[in-house]
Amino acid sequence: MDILRFYGSTVDERNMAIAADCLTRGQIIVYPTDTLYALGCDALNPHAIEALCRIKGIDPDKNLLSIVCDDFARAAEYARIDNRAFRIMKAALPGPYTFILPASTKLPKVFKGRKSVGIRIPDNDVARALVRQAERPVLTTSVDTTADFDCTDADSLSLHYDNFADLMLDGGPGTTVPSTIIDLTDSSNPVLVRQGAGEFNF
């Protein structure tokens, strides 16, 4: 597996162009977020989605599928965000949250029949730049935190996923805490689904 390293506050545009090309060609990448490192693929590519779901043992008919967006404009293309939901999300994002929202019809067939989608806009320059450069959302799922390896270290992750992923984006040390998940499908009644890195005030 190739490793591209991103350090400091400035995203290396040359490396990001390579990463975005990998993504748009349907490959699987490991990349940093503001919480755990994650596995990602082009959220508009059904074959890439199926491959990623196989790697993580995700049943797309039963499990929540989440996408990373770079901003609210892109998020609004793939989820229905009413005014109340927007106010809640605006106060929290970018940040360590996944908001469950009604899905739009722009998502591929694997999402059809699903009423909701998880939306993330992480407080991580590499993750957001990847979406912006590729001009498409990234289907995302956290790396395995139960296996016997260091899930916070890029080199350890690249060895663990060497047979499954095509590219590793090293953004420095990760964490072991997942995002906080909030269900906003009824924005008048937000529901805490999972407490993670973000403190959410109802």
State the residue range of the domain holding 22.
2-194
- Domain assignment present for 187: yes
Query: Domain with 11 in it: what CATH number?
Result: 3.90.870.10
**Inside any domain, residue 6:** yes
Q: Token pair of 95, please? A: 């940040």
In a domain, 125, yes or no: yes
Query: Has residue 202 been placed in a domain?
Result: no
What predicted TM-score, i.e. pTM, was given to this entire model? 0.94
Residue 76 domain-assigned?
Answer: yes
Residues 38-53 have pLDDT tens digits of 999 999 999 999 999 9
Report if residue 200 sits inside a domain: no
SS3 122: coil
Measured CA angle at 132 (ends 13, 44), to 5 deg:
125
| Cβ pair 78, 104 in contact under 8 A | yes
Reported as a single tens digit per residue, the pLDDT across 91-101 is 999 999 999 99
Q: Is residue 199 part of a domain?
A: no
Phi (first) and psi of residue 197, to 5 degrees: -70, -30
Residue 201 lies in a domain: no
pLDDT at 159 over 90: yes
In the chain, the number of structural domains is: 1
